[in-house]
Structure 1
Amino acid sequence: MSYHVEFNNVSKKFKNFEAIKEVSFKLEHGKTYGLIGRNGAGKTTLLSLLASFQLPSSGQISVNGEDPFENRRIMSEINFVYEVDYSNEYDTVTDYLEATESYRPNFDQEYANKLVELFELPLDKPIRDFSTGMQSALNIILGFASRCPITIFDEVYLGMDAPSRELFYQEVIEEQNRNPRILILSTHLVSEMDYLFDHVLILNRGEMMIDESFDQVIQRGASITGDAGVVDAFAAPFNILNSQQLGRTKSVMVYGEINAEKQIEAKRLDLEIGPLALQDLFIHLTKKERSHEA
């Protein structure tokens, strides 16, 4: 069954603080979403609303047209995976996986066992004695093996070393091919993970700044390099995110589509046009917004 999610003007307030401000977006089956934002942008609050951990202050959230809050059938199909304190967990991995299978209707024990081997987790060691990286791997296994139609990973891979993170990234690709679902990756590791995203959601101070496909976002940003005066004139119509100059050579980052006509003009003016990484766009877009509001 295909699932779809819709947020319609959703806000969440905590006393006098508004963590989420009239956010609207849609999530579609089979897509991997990158949820990006600075610390305090509201990412975890937004995800906890989707997972029905709390109610919105205003607006509507729907999953397949239904309100998910206290909806047992829908809530069982959403898995919000985040860092867990296992300091008092004396069970082994085997015990923990068996317990999880009892309340996750789509849980795949065989797949979970394969992931345990992949991440090299010991089966007979209490989880409380695992390293931080091993505990992160366990969270990832629980997220994948649940095979929930809506699976959310909220920074659960930060405790893992680079080779283990790479195993996780590869599994994202392979599992989406095997068993497509709505998969949300909330992350600060943008430069490592951007190739996984079909769609990008950028939150800034509780507001949705970007809600576009990965390709659309990347096409909106570019670097322009050349003679300083020529660069300034060419870049004037665009939203300039950042600029650097060395002697007469200047390079600027812009946010705005450089169409075919502008590409031809840039070549005539002996300007070099290059792509921007998603991380560069994210850093400078949110920095500019913060500077403007200060």
Structure 2
Amino acid sequence: MDPVIQVRDLTKTYKDTTALDGVSFDIERNSIYGFLGRNGAGKTTAMSILTAQNFATSGSVKVFGEDPYENARVLNRMCFVRESQKYPDEANARVAFRSAAMFFPNWDQQLCERLIDDFQLPLKTTIKKLSRGQLSAVGVIIGIASRAEITFFDEPYLGLDAVARQIFYDRLLEDYTEHPRTILLSSHLIDEIANLIERVLVIDGGRILMDSSAEEAREQATSVVGDKEAVEQLVQGREILHRESLGRVASVTFLGQLTGDERRRVEAAGLELAPVPLQQLIVRLTQHQGETARETEGALR
């Protein structure tokens, strides 16, 4: 492993709320991460601390082996693009790009101009008068054209329509292939980025729920569909993520993979195995985690 970010026992509290609860993880160099989780899970808080825009209550953060806070050697090697990005009231997109070009040492103006054309972005309109989608395009262009060694995208493309989002994914992957760097994508549109990300980092309730390669993540769960009685016999003793049934037909998603003997039983019983898409896996895992936490809390009362 070659981590560019190392987080250890990171905690952030706001009065009575714990946004991050003893979080530890590494981010490897030159990888595309999906930083995933529900609203309020702690993603934005974590990224804000990593980019020195927020303070940790306790724990440590190292970026390129150093504390990022008030550290120009670290900060000018990172780009943090977020949905709520602020710009001067009278600035237009051209001004925003000129400012970015002065800050980011790897800025590529030719790439910036190409992306402006791709997103059909007006350059003379003040940013405060841009539509939500056009404002998102400004952030996306800065994030790609900066070619920063570490780039954080915190839902900056939510205002883009489906065509524009696909342009973003295509241009990001295309440029990443030619100019590898570390990229963290925070998104609710997991199915859309599933083929883009190489590693998966899932946070829920301020804690890390999953930290694995995308391939390993997809292998964590299995779905089996068919006769309810046969399905229930097959999954007996396994940790169930989701169960639903209609009449005598049941579908059960559980953690783990089947053995060769179990697969033969599946075939003999006329059951079907279905892949678990990454988005469904993460949804099921977070739901399961929430249910387990509530059950534990109830037992302690």
Sequence identity (%): 34
Residue 168 of structure 1 and its aligned partner are, at CA, apart by 0.6
Aligned to 1:271: 271
Counterparts of residues 180-259 of structure 1 (less than 5 Å)? 180-259=180-259
Residue 118 of structure 1 and its aligned partner are, at CA, apart by 0.9
Aligned to 1:160: 160
Which whole-Å CA distance do the structure 2 matches of 1:85 and 1:77 have between them?
Answer: 18
Residue 57 of structure 1 and its aligned partner are, at CA, apart by 1.7
Query: Is the 1:82–1:154 contact (alpha carbons within 8 Å) kept by the matching residues of 2?
Result: yes
Scaled by the length of structure 1, the TM-score of the pair is 0.94
Residue 41 of structure 1 and its aligned partner are, at CA, apart by 0.7
Query: Is the 1:86–1:127 contact (alpha carbons within 8 Å) kept by the matching residues of 2?
Result: no
Residue 158 of structure 1 and its aligned partner are, at CA, apart by 0.5
Distance of aligned partners of 1:88 and 1:291 in 2 relative to their CA distance in 1, 3 Å threshold: same
Aligned to 2:177: 177
Deviations 1:85-138 (A, max 9, x none): 668532232222112211222211121111111111122222222111011001
The amino acid of 2:24's aligned partner reads S
Query: Is the 1:3–1:149 contact (alpha carbons within 8 Å) kept by the matching residues of 2?
Result: no
Deviations 1:46-67 (A, max 9, x none): 1111111123222221122222
Query: Is the 2:6–2:62 contact (alpha carbons within 8 Å) kept by the matching residues of 1?
Result: yes
Which whole-Å CA distance do the structure 2 matches of 1:261 and 1:217 have between them?
Answer: 23
Counterparts of residues 1-294 of structure 1 (less than 5 Å)? 4-84=4-84, 89-294=89-294
Which whole-Å CA distance do the structure 2 matches of 1:35 and 1:259 have between them?
Answer: 31
Which whole-Å CA distance do the structure 1 matches of 2:283 and 2:98 have between them?
Answer: 42
The amino acid of 1:120's aligned partner reads Q
| More moved, 40-49 vs 250-259 | 250-259
Query: Is the 1:92–1:126 contact (alpha carbons within 8 Å) kept by the matching residues of 2?
Result: yes
Deviations 1:6-36 (A, max 9, x none): 1112111222322111111111122111111
Which whole-Å CA distance do the structure 2 matches of 1:81 and 1:101 have between them?
Answer: 15
Residue 189 of structure 1 and its aligned partner are, at CA, apart by 0.9
Which whole-Å CA distance do the structure 2 matches of 1:88 and 1:51 have between them?
Answer: 21
Aligned to 2:299: none
Scaled by the length of structure 2, the TM-score of the pair is 0.92
SS of 1:195's equivalent? coil
The amino acid of 1:75's aligned partner reads L
Which whole-Å CA distance do the structure 2 matches of 1:86 and 1:76 have between them?
Answer: 18
Deviations 1:192-246 (A, max 9, x none): 2211111111111000000011111111112101221111111113221112222
Aligned CA RMSD, in angstroms, stands at 1.7
Which whole-Å CA distance do the structure 1 matches of 2:288 and 2:3 have between them?
Answer: 36
Deviations 1:115-174 (A, max 9, x none): 111111122222222111011001000111111111000000101111101101111211
Return 5+ residue gaps in structure 1 as ranges. Answer: none
Which whole-Å CA distance do the structure 2 matches of 1:11 and 1:4 have between them?
Answer: 20
Residue 292 of structure 1 and its aligned partner are, at CA, apart by 2.4
Which whole-Å CA distance do the structure 2 matches of 1:226 and 1:84 have between them?
Answer: 46
Which whole-Å CA distance do the structure 2 matches of 1:121 and 1:192 have between them?
Answer: 23
Distance of aligned partners of 1:88 and 1:57 in 2 relative to their CA distance in 1, 3 Å threshold: closer
Which whole-Å CA distance do the structure 2 matches of 1:276 and 1:222 have between them?
Answer: 6
The amino acid of 2:285's aligned partner reads L
Which whole-Å CA distance do the structure 2 matches of 1:174 and 1:48 have between them?
Answer: 27
Query: Is the 2:243–2:251 contact (alpha carbons within 8 Å) kept by the matching residues of 1?
Result: yes
Which whole-Å CA distance do the structure 1 matches of 2:59 and 2:258 have between them?
Answer: 36
Aligned length: 293
Query: Is the 2:224–2:272 contact (alpha carbons within 8 Å) kept by the matching residues of 1?
Result: yes
| More moved, 265-274 vs 16-25 | 265-274
Query: Is the 1:225–1:249 contact (alpha carbons within 8 Å) kept by the matching residues of 2?
Result: yes
Which whole-Å CA distance do the structure 2 matches of 1:76 and 1:191 have between them?
Answer: 32
Residue 83 of structure 1 and its aligned partner are, at CA, apart by 1.9
Query: Is the 2:87–2:96 contact (alpha carbons within 8 Å) kept by the matching residues of 1?
Result: no
The amino acid of 1:276's aligned partner reads V
